[in-house]
């Protein structure tokens, strides 16, 4: 007698086309993805179209999107103002890119200078990664010191200098964090020249900074860890005072918080002003972007007017280091007109009265009701977040830094996320929830119904 076929789990049953496309993609791309963040088990879902708060996959399933391209889409998918701006840029300028200066660069730069208290002048890049990389180079170039300090669990992009202690091992609270390399291929040099600090723990942070004060060229942090663990305001203020005292440039990596915690990011919200700021995500309105801004005297060291830099041709004033007296910053696509037109349209839309209040209130309501549902089903969990972003953490202890997250029930969270995907809530497993202006009351009501179904399914299993 033939053995009865095993029932196919609902996720696999509903997403057969994604499974097929994943297999095909794996033949030509390692792991079937072009960014490791897009991968999850058993395979990532392939999307076909989107609109507002919704994503539609290649199997015809609809999802309410809480990933929003890792928080970038503060106006939701396909916002009409952004689409119009992009079309107009292409029509009116007649080309996607000039390869020369153009008016949109100054228009967006002016906005950043007006909105961000820590930005006196700015430069554009093509990603958040490039923005933090330039900020660190500016800080270390300015001070002439090569070591940097970063915080355990903080992500600043995928390059050697900052792929350090992003995913640390568990440690006891009174043991200081260690510098450890997060990727194959990162030279030990970076481990040895990075000082790792514990977020929201001033006592240890102060002691470590004191010890390394003469060798540090920069302190970089996500003012809100991973976009959802809020800082103690006193901690941020003390960090600012201490770095000023020691003459170490403080970099706020506002790639997640910029235009999320309000128009002026975390620095506007908390009233703590860094020397340099890195922006990305929302600023591009769905297109790849980054920006660095800061104190003029620091920013100015990348000006090609100072002396000749490595791209100068036939200049008389060769720098004393063979042309390296200027801090190098360049990029074929920096200040791309299409990207900046989308960015400007996004900023203009966000500047309208009440936008942030509405999205924050929606996030607040969603958080309260999700917590209630978890509690009704006897699950030990809470939401952690600030503003329009939060995460769901299955733990009964306060979450103040990455070590607290490591101690939460990550296994159960993964199962919950699969149940949510099956019910039409798109969250990248383990990742945070981001909201947009497209997450209206109706969308929230639908979300909560699906969420309750997902939690019920999890409990039944």
Ligand X SMILES: Cc1ncc(COP(=O)(O)O)c(C=O)c1O
Among positions 54, 156, 240, 382, the unique one binding ligand X when judged by CB under 6 A: 156
151 counts as binding ligand X under rule CB under 6 A = no
454 counts as binding ligand X under rule CB under 6 A = no
Instruction: For residues 116 and 101, give the distance between their C-alpha atoms in angstroms, rounded to a whole number.
Output: 23
156 and 162 in contact (C-beta within 8 Å)?
yes
Residue 292 CB, nearest approach to ligand X (Å) = 12
**Backbone phi and psi for residue 181, each to the nearest 5 degrees, phi listed first:** -80, 135
401 and 204 in contact (C-beta within 8 Å)?
no
Choosing from 253, 275, 309, 404, the catalytic residue is 253
399 vs 419 by CB, closer to ligand X: 399
Among positions 222, 309, 401, 422, the unique one binding ligand X when judged by CB under 6 A: 222
253: left (phi over 0), alpha (psi -120 to 50) or beta: beta
Q: Give the containing element (helix H, strand E) for 402.
A: helix 402-406
157 counts as binding ligand X under rule CB under 6 A = yes
Structure tokens at 123: 């430069």
Binding mask 300-329 for ligand X (x = CB under 6 A): ------------------------------
Among 242, 202, 236, CA closest to 221 = 236
70 counts as binding ligand X under rule CB under 6 A = yes
428 counts as binding ligand X under rule CB under 6 A = no
220 counts as binding ligand X under rule CB under 6 A = no
218 counts as binding ligand X under rule CB under 6 A = no
254 vs 422 by CB, closer to ligand X: 254
Among positions 44, 118, 128, 217, the unique one binding ligand X when judged by CB under 6 A: 128
Q: Which stretch binds ligand X (CB under 6 A): 125-133, 236-244, 300-308, 357-365?
A: 125-133
Choosing from 43, 116, 155, 356, the catalytic residue is 155
Residue 18 CB, nearest approach to ligand X (Å) = 23
191 counts as binding ligand X under rule CB under 6 A = no
3-state helix, strand, coil in the chain (%, to 5): 45, 15, 45
Which stretches of 222-320 are assigned E, i.e. beta strand? 250-253, 276-279, 290-294
Residue 280 CB, nearest approach to ligand X (Å) = 5
382 counts as binding ligand X under rule CB under 6 A = no
Q: How many CB atoms lie within 10 A of CB 325?
A: 15
127 counts as binding ligand X under rule CB under 6 A = yes
Q: Which stretch binds ligand X (CB under 6 A): 106-114, 155-163, 308-316, 439-447?
A: 155-163
201 vs 254 by CB, closer to ligand X: 254
262 contacts: CB under 8 Å, gap ≥ 6: 268, 269, 356, 387
Among positions 280, 285, 337, 343, the unique one binding ligand X when judged by CB under 6 A: 280
> Does the annotation mark 155 as catalytic?
yes
Q: Which stretch binds ligand X (CB under 6 A): 145-153, 154-162, 207-215, 296-304?
A: 154-162
Instruction: For residues 456 and 423, give the distance between their C-alpha atoms in angstroms, rounded to a whole number.
Output: 11
428: left (phi over 0), alpha (psi -120 to 50) or beta: beta
CB-closest chain residue to ligand X: 128
Structure tokens at 150: 């970063």
155 counts as binding ligand X under rule CB under 6 A = yes
Structure tokens at 356: 């942030």
Instruction: For residues 321 and 309, give the distance between their C-alpha atoms in angstroms, rounded to a whole number.
Output: 10
According to DSSP, residue 78 is labeled: T
Instruction: For residues 461 and 449, give the distance between their C-alpha atoms in angstroms, rounded to a whole number.
Output: 19
Pairing assessment for the beta strands 47-51 and 54-57 based on DSSP bridges? antiparallel
Choosing from 150, 256, 281, 428, the catalytic residue is 281
Residues within window 229-268 making contact with ligand X, judged by CB under 6 A: 253, 255-256
- Can you tell me whether residue 125 is helix, strand or coil? strand
Q: Please give the positions annotated as active site.
A: 155, 253, 281
Residues lying near ligand X in the complex (CB under 6 A) are found at 70, 127-129, 132, 155-157, 222, 253, 255-256, 280
């Amino acid at each position: 007698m033939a053995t009865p076929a095993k029932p196919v789990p609902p996720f696999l049953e509903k997403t057969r086309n994604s499974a097929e496309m994943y297999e095909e993609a794996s033949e030509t791309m390692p792991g079937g993805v072009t960014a490791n963040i897009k991968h999850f088990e058993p395979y990532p879902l392939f999307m076909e179209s989107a609109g507002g708060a919704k994503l539609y996959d290649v199997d015809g399933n609809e999802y309410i999107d809480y990933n929003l391209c890792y928080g970038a889409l503060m106006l939701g998918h396909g916002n009409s103002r952004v689409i119009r701006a992009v079309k107009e840029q292409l029509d009116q300028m007649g080309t996607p890119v000039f390869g020369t200066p153009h008016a949109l660069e100054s228009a967006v730069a002016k906005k950043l200078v007006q909105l961000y208290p820590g930005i006196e002048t700015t430069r554009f890049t093509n990603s958040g990664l490039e923005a933090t990389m330039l900020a660190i180079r500016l800080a270390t170039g300015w001070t002439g010191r090569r070591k940097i300090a970063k915080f355990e669990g903080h992500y600043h992009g995928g390059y050697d200098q900052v792929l350090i202690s992003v995913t640390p091992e568990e440690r006891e609270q009174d043991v200081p964090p260690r510098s450890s390399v997060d990727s194959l291929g990162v030279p030990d040099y970076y481990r040895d020249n990075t000082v790792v600090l514990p977020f929201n723990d001033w006592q240890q942070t102060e002691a470590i900074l004191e010890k390394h004060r003469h060798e540090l060229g920069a302190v970089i942090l996500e003012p809100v860890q991973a976009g959802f663990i809020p800082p103690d305001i006193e901690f941020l203020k003390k960090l600012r005072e201490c770095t000023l005292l020691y003459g170490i440039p403080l970099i706020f990596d506002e790639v997640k918080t910029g235009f999320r915690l309000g128009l002026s990011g975390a620095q506007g919200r908390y009233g703590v002003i860094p020397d340099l700021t890195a922006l990305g995500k929302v600023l591009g309105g769905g297109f790849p972007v980054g920006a660095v801004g800061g104190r003029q005297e620091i920013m100015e060291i990348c000006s090609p007017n100072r002396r000749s830099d490595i791209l100068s041709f036939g200049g008389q004033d060769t720098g004393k280091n063979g042309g390296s007296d200027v801090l190098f910053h360049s990029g074929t696509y920096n200040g791309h007109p299409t990207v900046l037109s989308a960015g400007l349209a996004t900023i203009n839309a966000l500047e309208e009265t009440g936008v942030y209040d509405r999205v924050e209130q929606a996030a607040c309501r969603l958080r309260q009701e999700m917590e209630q549902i978890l509690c009704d089903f006897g699950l030990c969990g809470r939401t952690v977040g600030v503003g329009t972003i939060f995460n769901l953490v299955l733990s009964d202890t306060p979450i103040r830094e990455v070590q607290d997250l490591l101690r939460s029930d990550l296994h159960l969270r993964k199962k919950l996320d699969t149940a949510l995907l099956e019910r039409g809530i798109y969250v990248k497993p383990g990742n945070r929830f981001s909201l947009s202006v497209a997450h209206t009351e109706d969308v929230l009501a639908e979300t909560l119904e699906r969420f309750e179904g997902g939690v019920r399914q999890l409990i039944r299993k």
